[in-house]
Structure 1
């Protein structure tokens, strides 16, 4: 991290949820990858960060996030981070640990206020959903957005992504899409079906390829697919820890988060 004297702080109400940045960037569009089905959003976001050499430039802090520090391959990392680079149009919001549903609104609002204050025009959530075993559509990527957003974006219309008729987007991705509906920022979700309870690098690769088509990126997923077994093992351990945390939050002593 860098000199904290340059921090940009966006606060929401009295809940003290904060987006802190130690570098001034103005990403035209933002990718969001939080823990979800198959951890595909998280895996995809990490791979994009690595391939584009984006830098950790900020954090998302909230008393509603469980006090958990994450370390991956021996490296300590704040659980909710912001990545970007001055010479690139993209920014990335990534999360490593679960948080209670009561935190979703505050986190999403803080993120969208930060994005709006920095001139962001579009936010794209990468996520998975549980596949219907009766349907053979495991290699699809679905596009969800408002009709007006779709009609006004040639980059979306140029690619024939299937659009689900009915459903819902849950978790932080859903909260961010709700905030996008109420703001000038366009909200888009790319969703892929997940047929396994384990981390799914293949699903993450599908999301990256879909994003690359829309944005004209050249992100190679060969390494991601080649390291699939290693990634699965590492993230399964993290997923187990996440489940333990979630269970403790649900079943443990009341902390004002669950009733």
Structure 2
């Protein structure tokens, strides 16, 4: 069975020349936490979503209504868009999702991509350091421009890494910024990412409410991800006990 990912626009919104903030779940859930905080605190407009049969049938409820797991928000005044996913992309679908996302970015004329992610902290003294990876040589200029610490050698994984790879030959400049993480859902790291985005994009976001709400939000996100894992485990156990009939 062939799987696909479709970007659906709820309203016409030209993203030509926009900066896109990408927040897929990764290490420390930094991308999801920070992106969700940005769209809520700055009142971004909900303009579309990504639809696919690869998403698990576990949907978050907000204000009494179901919320799509992968959504697109935009702020016309700032020319900033946000792509946020609240579901982890299964490994077998990461290449497809990365390719489709890169094609959508190019098709919409987005000029800059800033992916939000995390990296394992090596020491407490480096907790506030924000690292960066660029998709190509021209994108490295963003690392210098914003005073980020370039990761010269190493290994990166996941959907964010593959999106950068897919954008190597794109006109869009693309970087991933990574905060040091120490927890499964690291709100301190997410706050550090937002502080850096304040410098980069002039968001002027106060991160103190994020830190104050961290404990409760952490419980909600971990519970949601646990439900996804439990659903997947239950499905696998059922399939193991009830193999398909072959005639």
Task: Identify the TM-score tier after normalising by the shorter chain.
Answer: 0.7 to 0.9
Counterpart Cα distance in 2 of 1:109 and 1:252: 32
1:16 deviation in Å?
A: 3.3
Alignment size in residue pairs: 238
TM-score (ref. length: structure 1): 0.81
2:38 aligns with one of 48, 51, 70: 48
Report if aligned partners of 2:20, 2:112 keep a CA contact under 8 Å in 1: yes
Q: Which of 83, 92, 105 does residue 73 from structure 2 map onto?
A: 83
Post-superposition shift, 1:189?
A: 0.4
Deviates more, 1:209-218 or 1:64-73: 64-73
Match for residue 14 of structure 2?
26
- Any idea what SS the aligned residue of 1:210 has? helix
Partners of 2:135 and 2:164 within 8 A in 1: no
Change (3 A) 1:215 1:171: same
* Matched residue SS, 1:124: strand
Whole-Å Cα distance in 2 between the matches of residues 101 and 247 of structure 1?
A: 16
* Displacement of 1:18: 0.4
CA contact (8 A) 2:194 2:205 kept: yes
Q: Compared with structure 1, are the counterparts of its residues 236 and 64 closer, same or farther at alpha carbon in structure 2 (3 Å cutoff)?
A: closer
Distance 2:121 2:232 in 1: 23
Q: Which runs of 5 or more residues in structure 2 are unaligned? A: none
Distance 1:185 1:213, change over 3 A: same
Which secondary structure does the structure 1 equivalent of 2:72 belong to? strand
Relative to the length of structure 2, the TM-score reads 0.85
Aligned to 1:217: 203
Match of 1:253 among 236, 239, 242: 239
35-44 vs 238-247, greater mean Cα deviation: 238-247
**Does residue 142 of structure 1 match 2:128?**
no
Question: Is residue 167 from structure 1 mapped to residue 157 from structure 2 by the alignment?
Answer: no
